[in-house]
Amino acid sequence: MGLFVKFMIGATGLAITFNFLWHSLLGLDLAGFFFSSFAMLILVVIVMFRALVLDAEVPVTEREKTAGEKKRDSENRRVEAMIDVVLLADQSGLAGGVDVAITAWVEMIRLFRSPRDVDFMDDYRWERLAAAFPVAVSMVAQDRATRLRLEDDWSAFLLTLKTTGRSNLDDPRKV
């Protein structure tokens, strides 16, 4: 129950109490009390109904998102950052960046093992993700175990793409 509804219920109770005291102190008849209390209740119900209807039409703000939506947004930002890490590590050519890039790539692919996880990705993001794969593989070409693990992850990733209807992307291993 919203704060406004609680306030209106409390205000109605106070108004009816005040109305009763007013009528009893002045010695007025009880019919006037019931009539005025009934009119107040109708007014409060109309105001509360309008408030609830208008409250239902308010768009969801950042603070009102569910925990699941917040987690998805967080994962989306993480994936974007990981794609950038992989591509920047290739451009910089730093030896330390290679380990970071590979770790980022493996983590990124594992985030997309289930079909519902890939719905938010648009074509631009998929192209960047596909461009990052050969970069990551070339960085660890000398490390056979890591390369095989990456390729297994990529195969699982491609299977996910096929189940979601995004199989129109080329497999970057064939490029």
161 and 167 Cβ atoms separated by less than 8 Å:
yes
- Longest CA pairwise span in the chain (Å): 99
- Give the residue extent of every domain in the chain: 3-58, 67-168
- pTM as predicted: 0.30
Instruction: Give residue 117's identity as a one-letter amino acid code.
Output: D
111 and 117 Cβ atoms separated by less than 8 Å:
yes
Query: Residue 175 has what pLDDT?
Result: 38
Query: Residue 17 has what pLDDT?
Result: 72
Residue owning tokens 């990529």: 154
Over its C-alpha atoms, the chain yields an Rg (Å, rounded) of 31
Closest CA to 108 of 86, 134, 141: 86
One pLDDT digit (tens) per residue for the chain, 175 residues: 566 666 667 777 767 777 666 666 666 666 666 666 666 667 666 666 666 665 555 555 555 667 777 776 776 666 666 666 666 655 555 445 555 555 666 666 665 555 455 555 556 666 666 666 666 656 555 556 655 666 666 666 556 555 555 544 444 444 3
